[in-house]
Structure 1
Amino acid sequence: MIGFVLVRSGDNVVRELAEGKDVAVDGAALLWEHIEQASDADISLKIQRTDIPAVVFAALVASETRPRCDQIEDGALINLRGPAALPAPDGDRLVSIRAWVHGDRVISVSRRGLAATSQVATAMKAGAISDCGDLVAAFSQSISNGLDPQVASLGDDVDDCESELEAGNIYQLRRRIATIRSQAIAFRRFIAPNRDALLTLAGLRVDWLADDDRLHIREAADRFSRMAEELEAIRERAALLHEQLTDLRAELVDQRSLMIAIVAFIFLPLTFITGLLGMNVQGIPFANQPWAFWGVVAFCNVVGLIVLGWFGMRHWLGR
């Protein structure tokens, strides 16, 4: 289990409590207790206190979460998703952070390491975070700032696929486009709910949320809205690319099938002529003439040129 407890006193001094020390600190302007990579039993033991409502306790220890924000009395239950500190190939791309904000206290739980956690903790130790409103605003901005370049990178990947498709490099494109679409779907699954949760958070009527905090939260929500729109555009562009790729591959197959049919049609009369003259029966004309072989070859060439010219007159060769 990984975790920490940061306490900001009234004189703007931030200190970190030792592991296992009682977190009930009197006179603290802000107390942030974070629990990470812990088992269900450890999480339950850590946050089981009489001042936490039962619905909040259940939400903090839940194994599956979705971004949300609910006001419970004068506190708020906040659930967001952000980039992981370390990538996990077999897990979700976005890691959940659940927080219970009440008065001057914040309890947060994360099953996996969240990249924004260390950034917010560093900002608090530097004195940039003074209350709970600053803390949740810092989390919303850090998560949105971390996701923005990843979504932009997906857009750049789509641009690269479009350029390769225009250049005619269609091989291996289908797998890349499918990967981009799946990543866009995975991102949008949580980015749009993140936006809704932050908009709800900005509208809460609680004392610990100042006007500048609401402004920063709305700014992060607007960034999530833009990312959601960009992801929708990426999905549509990827779907259009997939259709164009399918049409291009079908056109290539048609062209190759046409060429095969043309070659087969040219050799069809030639095969008939050679088969007819190659029968092992008496009476084959000019069988004993020395020029007969070359005569047949010349006749076959003439027939082939006639068939080829007929295809050219029908404008079938350039298709």
Structure 2
Amino acid sequence: MAMSNGEAEEMDSELSASMPLREPYLYQSYPSGMVRQRAYIFDGLGNFYNKEWDLAEGRGREFCWYHVELPKGNQKLSQSAQYLIGALCPPLKLQDILSLVSNGPFCGHVDGALVFRVNSPGPPSSDFTFRIAARVTEKSVITVSLGRVPRLGFSPMGQSLLSEIPSVENPSYSRGEQKERHGIVIKEHVLEFLLTMNHSEEADNPVPKSVSNLIVHIVDTHVDQLQDIVTKLEIELDSVELELDKGGFALKKQMLDDRRFPKIHVNLQRLLQMIAHGEQVFPRVKEKCSSKHWFASEDINSLEELIGRLRRLKENVGFIANRVTAIQAGLDSWQAEQINRKLYYLSFLSIIFLPLSIITGVFGMNVGGVPWTVQRNPDVKDGFRNVMLLCIGLLFLVLLCFIFPALYSHIAAWRRKSVMRRSWSLNRKSFLKRNLEPEIQQRGGYLRI
């Protein structure tokens, strides 16, 4: 049965009214270089290769790793989520994206995959804001980090700077002539940077042969990153203490004005919060991975060792916080000493000018009978004497007010001593009475003295 055009339009309008409207997917394109993406495929035999960004899982013994580096800018958390949506959707859904980019600790299964994160809140541009999240399946791992994580990637062997025989950048001279050196030349700032590293370079990383090895590698690099920050803080505190020992008034005043140590203390609290997140998440990761058949037992032991490292790192950060507090307390005491010294100078000046002000006040009074003047009016000849007596009375009253608390404390102490002496004598008499009553009864009621 054919329908007219009007009835068809009416039915279409009813259907469209009954069905909810859904906006089409809009995949926003971001500038190149905003989000760094790296993809690797491992053959399970100790070899790895770069691959395309297709988010596909491995086959057989192969497994894949996809890593996203979010920019360390002043973007909002929603903007970071938009970056991940553009990089991982599809095949990942919005639920997966939110579980990776949200702040706070988390470990659980999302859409059949194990997801854990230790994202700390704070400005993304700060060096003390860390975010590392991972989505793990049997044949693939997807990780998200804020900025570059040291030692997270892999590079061909034989390209490590630490395997070279170095020479320092500063030239040495012998009798005015420069000596020739062999080997690679390391600049001074590069050497200082290497001293803050508690790990080797990416060229020395063993290539994982399973997904469990890769998870241990990711957690290990995260702990190493935190350890690097702690080592850098220790070196900075050592240099600051050396400057304070050698520096003078200007340096200490500058440190107090810049609020340097309160800022370091705030950064330490952020670092402690991040370590606390790791202490909550990584034991749960170990517990959930121990039930997986593809997770090796030696990797479970490795995770246990990393958790122990994290706890020791927390104690070390606590020691650094105590050092910062001690240095700040020393600066505060120095500042209080400077203020007391200035007050001492002001008190010394007041001591000098106080007699002069008293003399000018006494002889500047508008009363009669002031000595060494011509005020001989008999009606007001006793005015100066009366005013001086009034001043002496007021002075005596003020001194009495100051002396009264001390006098009261002496009287109270004397009363307490008398009460204690009286109570002690009563206790002594009662004690003697209790001890001598049986002896008196034995002797027939008489006490021989």
TM-score where L is the length of structure 1: 0.68
Summarize the Cα distance change of 1:125–1:10 in structure 2 as closer, same or farther, 3 Å threshold. Answer: farther
Q: Is the 8 A contact 1:37 1:113 kept in 2?
A: yes
How far is 1:129 from its partner? 0.8
Question: Residue by residue, what CA displacement relative to the aligned partner does 1:136-181 show, whole Å, maximum 9, x if unpaired?
Answer: 1111212222221321332444455566667775423332211221
**Aligned pair 1:146/2:225, yes or no?**
yes
**Aligned pair 1:17/2:51, yes or no?**
yes
How far is 1:55 from its partner? 4.8
Summarize the Cα distance change of 1:26–1:153 in structure 2 as closer, same or farther, 3 Å threshold. Answer: closer
Structure ranking higher on relative contact order (CA contacts 8 Å, 6+ apart): 1
**Aligned pair 1:58/2:98, yes or no?**
yes
Q: Is the 8 A contact 1:14 1:125 kept in 2?
A: no
Q: Is the 8 A contact 2:55 2:66 kept in 1?
A: no
Summarize the Cα distance change of 1:54–1:18 in structure 2 as closer, same or farther, 3 Å threshold. Answer: closer
How far is 1:250 from its partner? 2.3
Q: What does residue 176 of structure 1 align with?
A: 260
Summarize the Cα distance change of 1:99–1:197 in structure 2 as closer, same or farther, 3 Å threshold. Answer: same
Q: What does residue 99 of structure 1 align with?
A: 134
Q: Is the 8 A contact 1:68 1:194 kept in 2?
A: no
Summarize the Cα distance change of 1:235–1:127 in structure 2 as closer, same or farther, 3 Å threshold. Answer: closer
Summarize the Cα distance change of 1:120–1:217 in structure 2 as closer, same or farther, 3 Å threshold. Answer: farther
| More moved, 1-10 vs 38-47 | 38-47
Aligned to 1:119, the other structure's residue is in SS state coil
Aligned residues: 273
Q: What does residue 84 of structure 2 align with?
A: 43
How far is 1:261 from its partner? 1.0
Cα distance in 2, alignment partners of residues 250 and 182 from structure 1: 23
Q: Is the 8 A contact 1:103 1:208 kept in 2?
A: yes
Aligned to 2:104, the other structure's residue is in SS state coil
Aligned to 2:278, the other structure's residue is in SS state helix
Q: What does residue 317 of structure 1 align with?
A: none
Summarize the Cα distance change of 1:4–1:164 in structure 2 as closer, same or farther, 3 Å threshold. Answer: closer
Match of 1:259 among 334, 337, 345: 345
Q: In structure 1, what residue type is equivalent to 2:49? A: R
Cα distance in 2, alignment partners of residues 5 and 124 from structure 1: 17
Cα distance in 1, alignment partners of residues 353 and 129 from structure 2: 61
Q: Is the 8 A contact 2:116 2:134 kept in 1?
A: yes
Cα distance in 1, alignment partners of residues 311 and 61 from structure 2: 36
User: Which 5+ residue runs of structure 1 have no aligned equivalent?
Assistant: 83-87, 285-319
Question: Residue by residue, what CA displacement relative to the aligned partner does 1:247-292 show, whole Å, maximum 9, x if unpaired?
Answer: 43223322321232122212332466689999xxxx79xxxxxxxx
Match of 1:31 among 41, 47, 64: 64
1:241-256 aligned at under 5 Å gives the runs 241-256=327-342
Aligned to 1:15, the other structure's residue is in SS state strand
1:111-190 aligned at under 5 Å gives the runs 112-116=146-150, 119-122=152-155, 128-159=207-238, 170-174=252-256, 175-190=259-274
Q: What does residue 42 of structure 2 align with?
A: 8
Aligned to 1:67, the other structure's residue is in SS state strand
Q: In structure 2, what residue type is equivalent to 1:214? A: I
Cα distance in 2, alignment partners of residues 255 and 126 from structure 1: 59
Q: In structure 1, what residue type is equivalent to 2:282? A: L
Cα distance in 2, alignment partners of residues 166 and 46 from structure 1: 52
How far is 1:66 from its partner? 2.1
Match of 1:220 among 306, 322, 340: 306
Summarize the Cα distance change of 1:23–1:233 in structure 2 as closer, same or farther, 3 Å threshold. Answer: same
Aligned to 1:130, the other structure's residue is in SS state coil
Q: What does residue 78 of structure 1 align with?
A: 116
Higher-Rg structure is 2
Cα distance in 2, alignment partners of residues 92 and 67 from structure 1: 19
Give identity over the alignment, percent: 20
1:182-221 aligned at under 5 Å gives the runs 182-204=266-288, 205=290, 206-221=292-307
Q: Is the 8 A contact 1:5 1:23 kept in 2?
A: no
Summarize the Cα distance change of 1:266–1:12 in structure 2 as closer, same or farther, 3 Å threshold. Answer: closer
Q: Is the 8 A contact 1:148 1:227 kept in 2?
A: yes
Aligned to 1:68, the other structure's residue is in SS state strand
Q: In structure 1, what residue type is equivalent to 2:301? A: L
Aligned to 1:78, the other structure's residue is in SS state strand
User: Which 5+ residue runs of structure 2 have no aligned equivalent?
Assistant: 1-34, 72-79, 156-201, 365-371, 374-449
Q: Is the 8 A contact 2:48 2:207 kept in 1?
A: no
| More moved, 199-208 vs 269-278 | 269-278
Question: Residue by residue, what CA displacement relative to the aligned partner does 1:272-317 show, whole Å, maximum 9, x if unpaired?
Answer: 6689999xxxx79xxxxxxxxxxxxxxxxxxxxxxxxxxxxxxxxx
